[in-house]
Amino acid sequence: MDVCSRNPNRTSPVSEAGGGDQVPLCSRTNGWSWPPHPLQLLAWLLYLFFAITSLGIFIPLLPPHWLPAGYICTGIMLVGHLCVHVMAVSLDPADQNVRRKTTSGPVPVFDRSRHAHVIENCHCYLCQVDVGPKSKHCSSCNKCVASFDHHCRWLNNCVGRRNYKLFLNSVISALLGICLVLVSATYVFIQFLLDPSQLRTDTHFQVTNDTGLWFVFLPLAPVDSAGAVIPVLAAVTIGLGLLSCTLLSHLLGFHMYLMWNRLSTYEYIVKQRHRQGTRGASAKTPTRKASFYLIPVLNIKPKTQLQTPRHKCKSHGC
């Protein structure tokens, strides 16, 4: 039986005493590796929805002098986003030594009784190769990623040094493309409520006199539709577009902040956890001092325990 087919898109299990047999997992090559993430499927569905509604429904209803700009600008942004998105998904962001490794198969089970971290002294005990100082073993892809930034569920792939610029270009092109779709959808929605006749400039509308009959997918493949379909689709597109623009703007602003401070997403999260741990320790300091001063009064001699601090690797572990 092929153990790779059982891959639940998670890291290799930790071996425990008495835990029974555990199935080792295979590493993922890129965002096309099985299984797909639900957010990845949602991203493709949203792309198809925006592309079909804008090019097939809203832009053909624009004034004639707006049609060339609408088709050219929106088409360029949609095609550009498709190209950079596919490249960001297809590129393998693994560490160079991991990609050079010729042996393939399941990732070995990590034994925490022997090693405190997956990566120690720039050596990964799961990938079984030496990695760079900024590499991290991703628990979702089961491999070390060079200059690890984060694991993007929308791409179903890790974002690292090799595809970080593609990831940013994908976010920017998606934001610009959705803004263009919002402009055309908003115009059609408002004009349909004010004066629907301004939207019926195509020759297919001039042939019929029925004002309640509308066409979609003009001018190449006109399909009859009811008049209520146009404003409903425009309203849905505006709602999804505003939500998508808000999320993409927040994501782009966050990565601009990271680039300004020369941080990765992983380093930012580690610093935030460190700050929270420091605040929690400072909040408990008065209680510890009080208990310390109560010990002489109660005439209790606490046992002194000497603990050897664990060696912390400079590189990132799991």
Residues involved in catalysis: 152
At 23, list the tokens: 């199935």
Rounded distance, CA 78 to CA 48, Å? 10
Q: Report the distance separating Cα 267 and Cα 149, nearest Å.
A: 8
Query: Quick check: bond before 231 cis, omega within 30?
Result: no
Residue 24 to residues 31, 35, 102, 110, Cα–Cα distance (Å):
20, 16, 18, 10
Contact 77, 180 (CB under 8 A): yes
With 0-12 CB in 10 A as exposed, 13-18 as middle and 19+ as buried, what is 61? buried
